[in-house]
Structure 1
Amino acid sequence: MTSRIIRVTVGQLSLTLGMFWLVMSLTTPEPRHVSAGAAGVGGGLVLLLWRRIRLPVRPVLAGSVAIGLVGTVAGLIVRTVTVGGMFGWFEDRGWPFSWLGRGALADSVDEARRQALAGGWGVDLFRLAVDVVVWSYTGLVLICVFGLAVRARKARRAPERAE
């Protein structure tokens, strides 16, 4: 009973926040914002409709956690470098949100870049957590769609075998 209340609450919050994010990103041409909102909406719907979906919990949970971690690590491929004003150099990694970054300010852009490279990377834990959640919701939705497609295919083939 308690797990059902938590699942419904998290599902409703995810659906609401995902829809809000989608509405707010209508004027933004970046696909990462639309992707994050769509993942929240999809994950919220799956959590709210879980009893109707009727898929095995452990494989779906394991798959969505694995996709969440793999997607977050794979998102590090996306690299953004910006030059701030005349004296700053900043590099960020991560998708849909950059959670790994380094940067520096100096008397020239080259000096700022050198200092940033020497300074090392910094981790934004909040954005990292949001990335893991977005990728996990994406995995949850993909696994559920795949599971429902397999179930529908089996149901469609069952009458053919009976004849």
Structure 2
Amino acid sequence: MFAKLFLTMVSVSLLELYVLIKVGGFLGAWPTVALVVISALVGSALVRSQGLQVLRQFQERIAQGESPGQQLIEGFMLLVTGVLLVTPGFVTDFLGLLILQPTIRSMVAKYLLANVKLNSAMSGGFYQSSSRTTFGDKKEDGNIIEGEFERKDDNKDH
């Protein structure tokens, strides 16, 4: 795992240097630096606006009682996009701009949601419907204990 990550980082860095040198040789040093800075500023603004949009969608899904899994994945993808766009270079900017496209981001998120198995940090979980909350917790022996509770008002007239 570490070796793959290391090779990826070194490869991307070398590719970025190569492209920056080629573009700098064609446009000149200052226009190349200006392009890198402008792409970081524009990219940051776009990530912020799309991040707010994904947050609204997340809140709507929660309010409707639906799973916000796709919005969580898209939010993480936007976080990665922000890093890509702020990283100096044209290759990472191109990748970041690809992920910024809502249709591409949505397709990738749906694919990941359908094909990647996520392991929960907790052994159990809960879901809420109206005023009842149902819990399920897995014991060490593999049995699941389920239970329900209902909130009662504490302010009773005596």
Q: TM-score, normalised by structure 1?
A: 0.32
Between Structure 1 and Structure 2, whose CA radius of gyration is higher?
A: 2
Higher helix share: 1
Q: TM-score, normalised by structure 2?
A: 0.33
Structure with the bigger RCO (C-alpha within 8 Å, sep 6+) is 1
